[in-house]
Structure 1
Amino acid sequence: MERKQFLKTLGASAAFALAFPCLHGCSSDSGDDGEAEGNTPIPTGIDFTLDLDAPENAKLASNDGFVLKNLVVVAKNFEGEFVAASQVCSHEGFAQVRFAPQLEGGIFYCDVHSPGSRFDQKGNPLNQVDSKEPKALKIFKTELTDNMLRVFE
């Protein structure tokens, strides 16, 4: 069943609940969002900083926002902590991983496949999307100094 048909069968309210994280995450306000096809390599050698006062990082001011940079999803969870994960899904290599703060206390997810890969904030898989063994999502370290957030391995 295709996603559109599936959403129609759920009704408008359920469709909104499922579509909101994707719509929120599909904005490209952050510049280098790394939208890519499947089989994108998982990023390595990550070490960059984000100026939290810069307009392109304004979403990180709230405890549910995220930005995409250098194939990394950088998010601020409900506890006010910064978390960062590979934007490249460990399932099939699509650069579509986003952060959904309203689901299960905040999870990383990739909705390219059905039912979609879901990961906790430590990168542990929360579901199995097919017969393949679920793989962890790569997580990066974060370090905050004043208004500068460093994301690194």
Structure 2
Amino acid sequence: MKIKEVGLEMTRGEFVKSLGISVGAIMATWCIGGLTSCMNADMPAPGDGGVDFTIDLEASENKALLTNGGWLIKNSVVIARTNSGDYVAVTQVCSHEGRKQVAYRASKNDFYCNAHGATYSISGKGTNSAGSRGLTRYTTQLDKNSLRVFG
């Protein structure tokens, strides 16, 4: 495409070069400007307030949470009943590479990502180098047979 103006003529590429902007700089600017398009869409921002749901503990699909060491995944959140009987909830999305592979390990009373071996404490704190950025932890609130997960 040629651009004509008052006797000047140049191609689009010549115009961009005249500004001293490389394609890489343009792409980097676009990516930074639209940061959400460069992030893994499945990775929730810490404390973004986007989680708020209730689990009916009497429903058969949630029966794992009636036993110490039981756990399940709902809405990309891992909800576990620890070995001591406390309810905890963390994001299922591993902070190491953004994969939805975090699970609860009752045998070690921790969270584990089977993609690269990242490990996390019950509080969501990373306990090895792969898990060093930790997990987003959500608040749990028990009311009779309902467990609210939010944060």
- Deviation (angstroms), 1:42: 2.2
Write the letter of the residue equivalent to 2:86. E
Aligned to 2:147: 149
Rg larger for: 2
Q: Which amino acid aligns with 2:43?
A: P
Q: What stretches of structure 1 move > 6 A for 4+ residues in a row?
A: none
Unaligned segments of structure 2, at least 5 residues: 1-39
Q: How many residues align?
A: 109
Structure with bigger RCO (C-alpha 8 Å, 6+ apart): 1
How far has the Cα of 1:134 moved from its partner? 1.8
2:44 match: 42
* Structure 2 Cα separation of the partners of residues 71 and 77 of structure 1: 19
Q: Check the 8 A contact 1:85/1:138 in 2, yes or no.
A: yes
The gaps in structure 1 that reach 5 residues or longer are 1-38
**Aligned 1:62-141 pairs, distance under 5 A:** 62-103=67-108, 106-113=109-116, 116-129=117-130, 134-141=132-139
Per the normalisation by structure 2, the TM-score is 0.69
More strand by percentage: 2
Post-superposition CA distance 1:85-134 (Å, at most 9, x none): 0000011000110000101xx10110101xx00000111111013xxx82
- 2:64 corresponds to which of 59, 62, 72: 59
Q: What value does the CA root-mean-square deviation take over the aligned residues?
A: 1.6
Q: Percent identity?
A: 42
CA distance in 1 between partners of 2:144 and 2:66 (Å): 13
